[in-house]
Amino acid sequence: MVSERTKFYRDKHNAKLMGVCSGLEDYTGIDAIWWRIGFILLIGTGFSIPLYLLLGIFAGKKPEHLYVDQDEQKYWQGVRQSPQRTAREIRAQFRDIDRRLASVEHHYVASNQRLSAEIERLR
């Protein structure tokens, strides 16, 4: 199952023509002006116009509720660019949270002899 946040959409809200370049900007995080320049430079090859039209015809319109804020948009762009790296970063954040929580727990239990004794009795 593909999440709707990892699919390519045309972005008609920021569009100049069909919304393909602004959709590519949303999908990759690369500014739409660079996509427009790339399509213009490739016109001579005869490749960019059919590609642009195919993307414009077959890509769906971007849903309004797709992202809550800019941070969420940047996160999903990172997921689309490198899912493995994003998963590693999330695992590292959880390991850090777990380490900090264990440190707080150790500090609290070490300074509270009554709690430490109750924990030992439960084991």
| Span 35-91, pLDDT tens digits | 888 888 888 788 888 888 888 888 877 777 776 677 877 777 777 777 777 778 888
Number of helical (H) and strand (E) elements in the chain, helices listed first: 6, 2
The residue segments making up the domain with residue 74 are 1-81
Residue 4: DSSP 8-state: G
Q: CA torsion 67→70→73→75, rounded to 10°?
A: -130
Q: Do 73 and 109 fall within a single domain? A: no
Residues 61 and 16 grouped into a single domain: yes
Q: Looking at the structure, do residues 13 and 73 belong to the same domain, yes or no?
A: yes
User: What is the pTM (predicted TM-score) of this model?
Assistant: 0.55
Asked if residue 43 and residue 100 are part of one domain, the reply reads no
Of 32, 9, 16, nearest to 80 by C-alpha is: 9
Specify whether 74 is located in the same domain as 22: yes
* Domain count for the chain: 2
Residues 46 and 104 in one domain: no
